[in-house]
Amino acid sequence: MTESARVGVDVVAGVLPGTPMDEVTQRWFLTSEEWYANDGADQARLLSAMNGKALAWANYLMMQPDRFNWVKLEWIWF
């Protein structure tokens, strides 16, 4: 059985607006199986950890205006 995504976060950046650079693109997912295998407090910790990694990566990229003109973080709940 394949695992379905429950929540995902994408961080992309680049020089030309709307043209992400593959080498800095990062994606994080929590699967439905991971989500439902935990209770409320553990779900919150899982989500917080994933979001923290994505926010840290986006911040790291934003601190390099000599390399990137834009950074975008997208969060989606499935």
pLDDT in tens, the chain (78 residues): 468 999 999 999 999 999 999 999 999 999 999 999 999 999 999 999 999 999 999 999 999 999 999 999 999 999
Q: How far apart are alpha carbons 56 and 32 in whole angstroms?
A: 24
HSE, side-chain direction, 13 A CA sphere, residue 19? 5
- End-to-end, the C-alpha distance of the chain in Å comes to 18
Q: Which residue shows structure tokens 């390099």?
A: 64
Tokens representing residue 67 in the block: 């390399």
DSSP 45-57: HHHHHHHHHHHHH
Whole-number pLDDT of residue 16: 96
Whole-number pLDDT of residue 3: 81
- Residue 3 DSSP label: P
Whole-number pLDDT of residue 2: 66
- The domain locations on the chain are 5-77
Specify the pTM.
0.90
